[in-house]
Structure 1
Amino acid sequence: MRPSILILGGSGQAGSDTAALLRRWHPTVPLTIAGRDLDRAQRVAGEVGGATAVTIDLRRRDLGLPDDAVYSAVVAALWDDRLNGLRYAQDRGLPYLSISSGLLDIGPEVVAGAQRASAAPILVASHFCAGIATLAALDVAGDLDRIDSIRLGLILDETDTGGPAGTADLERWSAVTAAGLVRHDGVFTWLSADTTQVDVRAVDGAQMAGHSIPILDVPSLALATGAPDVRVDLAVGESSSRRRGKAASIEIRIDMTGTDATGTSRRLSRYLIHPHGQRPLTAVGIALGVERLAGLRGDPVRPGIHTPESLIDPGYAAQRLSEIGAVLADAPPDSAGPGGESAGQALDPWQEVLARWDLSADGAPLATPGSDLLPVRWNGRPAMLKRANTPEERAGAAVLRWWGGDGAAEVFTHEGDTVLMERATGDGDLMAMALGGRDDEATRILCDTVAHLHRNRPGAPATDLVPLREWFASLAAVREDGPRYARSWEAAEALLADPRDEVVLHGDVHHDNVLDFGARSWLAIDPKCVTGERGYDYANLLTNPDLPTAAEPARFARQLDVIVTASGLPRERLLRWVVAFAGLSAAWFDEDGDSGRRDRDFAVADLAAAHLSDAAGRAVRALS
């Protein structure tokens, strides 16, 4: 049996997220969750599945672990301030990965590695998001033959600094120096604190105050590409997604100049975005490094000091990022300057409604595939203007109005395709809760919200609602395209032929569509226009393709229990709805050409089908 991977700080944000991701990628690899609090470590180990928990003492060279403990790698998902985690790895010839030392604290790690160069591989991954920003930039760099300049603009939401450990790292680094490190004209140069200030452009066009930072991404990118000019700037504040009332996101802007293979000068501008902030990206960065160090992917890593870009293929990193819902997309036109709109021009389409409803803009305009949005203030309170651009969005707005602020965001007024609605301002984030050891609590909040929306109400929404049978048209169209689609359609047909407890559905309940509205607690946003059996909405909760842990068997079984208890639905019927809906969702992703999310939906359907099979087997045995 393969020895376990020891994750120091495994019960913290970075450690627990990494453990969950490794379990998803490598279901049989043993993991050890190590922390100071054994109860907390045991809780995380139980949620991950196939993991053990231990306590550690970072003040001891042996970490307080038994002499006969055997591991395959040591991951420091915390600051190994005494380097005892590193020495433990070196003493046993184990690969070691660290993420918290930063550019200004790696000196002791480098010296320790040099003094015992043949002892073990050491991956210094104290880059932004454990190397993800650098790997994404190198993936973009593949479009150029020669690179002249690289500039990264990192936007970190102020509510998403990585938990206590991440906050402590940021405070420690900023206490050391306010200077910035750049490469200019081929020379690594320190910028004084008074020359580091710069604006970082968010994806919605907002300019955020930032500054050049001393970070390992600068030398990594400079030396990997040969670019003579490299700079990394950081802005901490309200992210674009939070300005439009959703969860905190992360944005990494990548600007690059150079020439392509034909000698043509080119300027590339891309954004790497994840709607749930830095946590998923950091977990991917660490997990990619662990894969290489622990021999789970690629050739064995030789002893010595390594950095992420020296071990990890940028294209493979981009693939893994896409699987967890990250998007690498071309940057929109700049919000000011040649070829771009000024802030005033961007507001032009809204000026008439701003004046008529006596509103003031409270952020930059935003756009989604189905609507345009503008954060505003109305009578001194935060609100959101939303203009629907598709029939589905218009119908969803009618459902939201019908709910009247009861269990969902309140619509203050509306006219035509435009609504003025309540804006979420609370700090809670259900996705962060689900990934941070509070999965049960997040699921119960979702169930409570769904139950609230399903309550009996007078009248009906002022729109034509779509029956579930029509909603399942995409699945019906592919029911002969393989056994998984056939299985889901068979389940859907049986359920649709015998509907129960029919209500106006939300139609798209997941962790990002139920938000924290502060004193008003948790409320739903963005409903569809669907009517049918209430079990459909609850099945959505187990089939969130953006949740990294959705297809983990232990997590699925646990949340299934939580939903059955909270909803009162029969377990077998809920599982059949999961099989049906996961197939429908997979068909939608197939239509979009997104095979990664399609396959995650298939994996959830497989889990639900396995639970149904086990239940049927138990019933047969009980009768025999």
Structure 2
Amino acid sequence: MTQVDLEDINTRLVSRFGSEAEGWLAGVPALAARLASRWDFELGELFDSGASSVVLRCRWSDGTPAVLKLSPDGALLTKQIEMLRVFAPTGRVPAVLAADADAGAMVLEEILPGTAAEDLPADSLPGRWGELLTALHAMTPPADWPWTLRGRFEESFERIGRRLAEPAINARISQATWRRAIDRCETLLSTQDPVVLLHGDLHLGNVLDGGASRGLVAIDPKACVGDPCFDAVDYVVEGAWHEGVEARCRVVADACGLDGDRLYAWSRVVAPMFVIAHLTYGGPERALDELLALTS
């Protein structure tokens, strides 16, 4: 890893886990080397890493390309392994090739060609998204599955809502706007029927091209039980950067066999969160204007 890579990863991990993540990150090269020896793979370059992990390419001894995922949060990794395995029969998530939750490590197959959904031809995506949802939502939730869409939103509203204290955020998203989103969410949660096992974090960056024979593959599930529309809402709201949310909602609802009115209602629930992300990371003003209109 280069110094620039390390600085970026360090910033994200410290933001998520606190200053103790710096010590953990310093030990990553030695940990990765031990696992390579133990599991008989060859380490490669740094792969796209999220806010809670370090990901490295690797190659199994038989030549199989894979990725090594390391996290300072062993409990989180254990949950991720469980979620990947519950969707494994669909073939629409990466296979877990090896795992050691105590070490905060797992090896996953590398999805090839691996093109992110946001870089695929836009006109082909709604139909392929529908096929992906059909496969994922066909899985029967385990009887004792502890995670629900309600719990997912309770955590999100609490965590993201803290950012309303920031002046730049509060100037665009008021407490009243946030409360309105919570009330809209409650209305939808109280009328969920049917409910399915959701991926739970199905945005365009979490969906990869698995090739013609496999179709789209979803990574990093936050599997929970809830309204099937939720697994299409991020894709719909990202239409604010392109053809518009309402136009995309109609196309996606038809392609995925979803209730278009509910899907649009969910877009109004998550719109304030998208506004906060837009204000944090930037983007075209027209997208911000449409997102703000959705929150009203």
TM-score by length of 1: 0.37
Q: Does 1:430 align with 2:123?
A: no
Residue identity in the other structure for 2:280: D
Residue aligned with 2:124, SS = helix
Partners of 2:256 and 2:122 in 1: CA distance: 16
Partners of 2:289 and 2:200 in 1: CA distance: 19
Q: Does 1:556 align with 2:245?
A: yes
Q: Deviations over 1:273-317 (max 9, x none)?
A: xxxxxxxxxxxxxxxxxxxxxxxxxxxxxxxxxxxxxxxxxxxxx
Residue 577 to residue 381, structure 1, CA distance change in 2 (3 Å): same
Q: Match for residue 86 of structure 2?
A: 402
Tell me if the contact between 1:354 and 1:360 (Cα under 8 Å) persists in the aligned partners.
yes
Partners of 1:542 and 1:349 in 2: CA distance: 40
Residue 366 to residue 585, structure 1, CA distance change in 2 (3 Å): closer
Residue aligned with 1:404, SS = helix
Q: Match for residue 254 of structure 2?
A: 565
Residue aligned with 2:293, SS = helix
Q: Does 1:360 align with 2:50?
A: no
Shift of 1:352: 2.2
Q: Match for residue 188 of structure 2?
A: 495
Shift of 1:381: 0.9
CA-based RMSD of the aligned residues comes to 3.6
Tell me if the contact between 1:578 and 1:605 (Cα under 8 Å) persists in the aligned partners.
no
Identity of aligned residues (%): 21
Q: Unaligned regions of 5+ residues in structure 2, if any?
A: 11-26, 165-169
Q: Does 1:440 align with 2:123?
A: yes
Tell me if the contact between 1:505 and 1:534 (Cα under 8 Å) persists in the aligned partners.
yes
Count residues in correspondence.
262
Residue identity in the other structure for 1:566: A
Shift of 1:369: 2.0
Q: Deviations over 1:25-83 (max 9, x none)?
A: xxxxxxxxxxxxxxxxxxxxxxxxxxxxxxxxxxxxxxxxxxxxxxxxxxxxxxxxxxx
Match of residue 202, structure 2, among 488, 509, 512: 509
Partners of 2:28 and 2:77 in 1: CA distance: 22
Q: Deviations over 1:195-232 (max 9, x none)?
A: xxxxxxxxx43xxxxxxxxxxxxxxxxxxxxxxxxxxx
Tell me if the contact between 1:385 and 1:418 (Cα under 8 Å) persists in the aligned partners.
yes
Structure that is richer in helix per residue: 2
Q: Match for residue 414 of structure 1?
A: 99
Partners of 2:152 and 2:9 in 1: CA distance: 36
Partners of 2:54 and 2:135 in 1: CA distance: 28
Residue 376 to residue 405, structure 1, CA distance change in 2 (3 Å): farther
Q: Match for residue 452 of structure 1?
A: 135
Residue identity in the other structure for 2:268: V
Residue identity in the other structure for 2:88: G
Partners of 1:468 and 1:385 in 2: CA distance: 31
Structure that is richer in strand per residue: 1
Matches within 5 A, 1:239-388: 347-364=29-46, 367-378=49-60, 379-388=62-71
Partners of 1:527 and 1:557 in 2: CA distance: 26
Bigger Rg, structure 1 or 2: 1
Task: Using CA pairs under 8 Å that are at least 6 residues apart, name the structure with larger relative contact order, 1 or 2.
Answer: 2
Q: Unaligned regions of 5+ residues in structure 1, if any?
A: 1-203, 206-268, 272-328, 334-344, 610-624
Shift of 1:530: 2.8
Shift of 1:539: 1.0
